[in-house]
Amino acid sequence: MRVSNRRIGLAAALVAGLLAVLVACGGGSVGTNGTGSPVLVGLNVGTVSGLGSVIVDGTRHDDSAAKTEISRNGTDVEVGDVRLGHRVSLEFGTDAAGTQVLQRIELLPSVSGRVSERTADTIGVLGQTVTVNSDPARGPVTTFESPLSGLADLQLGDAVDVHALTQRTGSGPTDVRLVATRITRRSALPGVRVSGAVAALSAAGSGGARSFRLGALTVELPSAAALQPQGIALLDGRTVTVFAPESAFDPATLVLGASLVQVMSVGTAGSGSAGVASTLGRAGLVGAWTGSTFELDGVGLLVQADTQIVSPGQALGDGAYVQATAVLDSSGRWRATRIERLGTAAAVAELRGTLDDWSATAGTFRLRDTVVTLAPSARIDLAACRAPSLADGLYVEVRGASTAQGLTASTVVCAPEPAGTKSRLERHGLVLTADAVARKLTMRHQAGGAVLTVTWSDSLYLREPLTMAALVALAGTSSQIEVEGTLSADGLQMAARKIKLRTTRH
């Protein structure tokens, strides 16, 4: 279910003093402000490399209590769905016992818009040059959402979400490219958004209008456009996300009229400025490396004698995929405290969940909405399940390499299906009854089988093209659904987090 609520943006939370970005070893610290209520003071930004507990750049996080959201206009949010290759921010709080808890996952597409330019190996979206990566040694491999299998499947005018790493390729304002981590073709485009570091910011003209560059895109900021958080300065080097209606973009001139600009707490920060955090952590591609400075995902950083560099056997340089932590020094510049080359280890993808759509002939199955292909030398361990062979319904843990179409598995280990409210499981079957008002349906996997009662809340995600009306209309038909959620101890009730139409390839 897509739910629209008033969005308290990350930048707004910053200016209120609720957020300090404290990222180290994949996490952050937290506090309760003396009230017992969680106060967010932790943030991690990176690329999703695993599911079944979300894994970001190789670090696993329990996501059982986390909301997944995305904003299309900068003001409202809708429920989202985490997939391999998504760029995300992870926001942490504490529970009543003081334990760190992942509270929110925000999907961060680098650009959402229509394809307006294309070459043999790039596309242009909102003035951003988008390329792909097939080499895991150079960072996350680009994954294409089915039915896409590569850039050749995209046409001029297609609406897309592009999750990507930003890399500076030169010193000019247009010398920036996006290396996609995931590309999805959308059926509709409710608005456009684009993120990047501000360049060539103009002085305010008559009436207060300004403009700046994001790559080849010129962003016009009329005086009526909103700037969040209120009171923050818009400066060259600061990272922003620009929102606008689709009609505000002119593909001929690459000019976008902004309706809202959110200024994030990274970039060339002014010391003591409102909305600027004192530490940050981010994974991305090194650009404009000089040995003493570099740019990472749109953020300029200093490298000093005390910066810890972990890059076994290789010197750092442009194109290296790294995780960096930094502090804001007294001059208002980001000083890197640690830079770690992530290398091919971060390219290992992991999935945990219920196996579906197994084909022994093709050596493929689906797991957590990802097509898994067995490598010729894949190790398959079924001992814990006492199963003679792979089959639909087995709970498995898979490790392998991300590919353009999914994952090539090097190991598949069957495991007992986990119990408890922290484990997300999948069930599929026919809808017997459905009530949108009561937020409940019943379903059966096979004739004569047990009836499963499924309930949900506002955080339910309905995968397109399924809508709530369409879900209710499925009752009594031969169309199957697939439900992901937490299962009761008796296996007869499920609290759903996601429902979609079930499709099979075999």
Query: Taking the domains of the chain in order of start, what are their residue ranges?
Result: 5-107, 355-414, 425-501
What pLDDT sits at residue 500? 96
CA distances from 363 to 195, 226, 380 (A): 39, 52, 12
What pLDDT sits at residue 346? 65
CA distances from 372 to 104, 125, 330 (A): 27, 30, 49
What pLDDT sits at residue 449? 85
Query: 378: helix, coil or strand?
Result: strand
pLDDT tens-digit series, residues 192-206 = 999 999 999 999 887
* Tokens found for residue 410: 């090097």
Query: 85: helix, coil or strand?
Result: coil
Contacts for 23 with CB less than 8 Å, ≥ 6 apart: 42, 43, 44, 45, 279, 280, 281, 282, 325
Rounded to 5 degrees, what are φ and ψ at 261? -125, 120
Q: Structure pTM?
A: 0.87
Q: How far apart are CA 112 and CA 243, in angstroms?
A: 10
What pLDDT sits at residue 3? 43
What pLDDT sits at residue 25? 36
Task: Note whether 354 and 426 are within 8 A (CB).
Answer: yes
Rounded to 5 degrees, what are φ and ψ at 247? -65, -15
What pLDDT sits at residue 304? 94
What pLDDT sits at residue 268? 40
* Tokens found for residue 134: 């097939």
Task: Note whether 9 and 77 are within 8 A (CB).
Answer: no
* Tokens found for residue 437: 């008002």
pLDDT, one tens digit for every residue, the chain (506 residues): 444 443 444 433 333 333 333 333 333 333 333 333 333 334 578 899 999 889 998 889 999 889 999 999 999 999 999 999 999 998 888 888 888 889 999 999 999 999 999 999 999 999 999 999 999 888 999 999 999 999 999 999 999 999 999 998 888 878 899 999 999 999 989 999 999 999 999 998 877 899 999 999 999 999 889 998 888 889 888 889 999 999 999 999 999 999 999 987 543 434 334 344 567 778 899 999 999 999 988 888 999 999 999 988 788 999 999 999 888 887 778 899 999 998 776 678 999 999 999 999 999 999 999 999 999 999 999 999 989 999 999 999 999 999 999 999 999 999 998 877 678 889 999 999 999 999 999 999 877 789 999 999 999 999 988 999 999 999 999 999 999 999 998 889 999 999 999 987 65
What pLDDT sits at residue 169? 86
Rounded to 5 degrees, what are φ and ψ at 246? -60, -35
The CATH number assigned to the domain with range 425-501 reads 2.40.50.320
Q: Is 120 exposed, middle or buried (0-12, 13-18, 19+ CB in 10 A)?
A: exposed
What pLDDT sits at residue 318? 92
What pLDDT sits at residue 174? 82
What pLDDT sits at residue 265? 56
Q: Is 420 exposed, middle or buried (0-12, 13-18, 19+ CB in 10 A)?
A: exposed
Q: Widest CA span of the chain, in angstroms?
A: 75
Task: Note whether 505 and 357 are within 8 A (CB).
Answer: yes
Q: Hey, which bits of 274-386 come out as E strands?
A: 279-287, 293-296, 299-302, 308-310, 321-328, 334-341, 348-354, 356-359, 364-367, 370-381
Q: How far apart are CA 272 and CA 277, in angstroms?
A: 9
Rounded to 5 degrees, what are φ and ψ at 91? -110, 130
What pLDDT sits at residue 315? 85
Query: 310: helix, coil or strand?
Result: strand
What pLDDT sits at residue 351? 96
| Closest to 31 measured CA to CA, from 23, 19, 46, 45 | 19
Cβ-based neighbour number of residue 315 at 10 Å: 10
Task: Note whether 144 and 130 are within 8 A (CB).
Answer: no
What pLDDT sits at residue 152? 94
Q: How far apart are CA 465 and CA 67, in angstroms?
A: 21
Task: Note whether 457 and 394 are within 8 A (CB).
Answer: no
* Tokens found for residue 308: 């810890």
Q: How far apart are CA 48 and CA 330, in angstroms?
A: 33
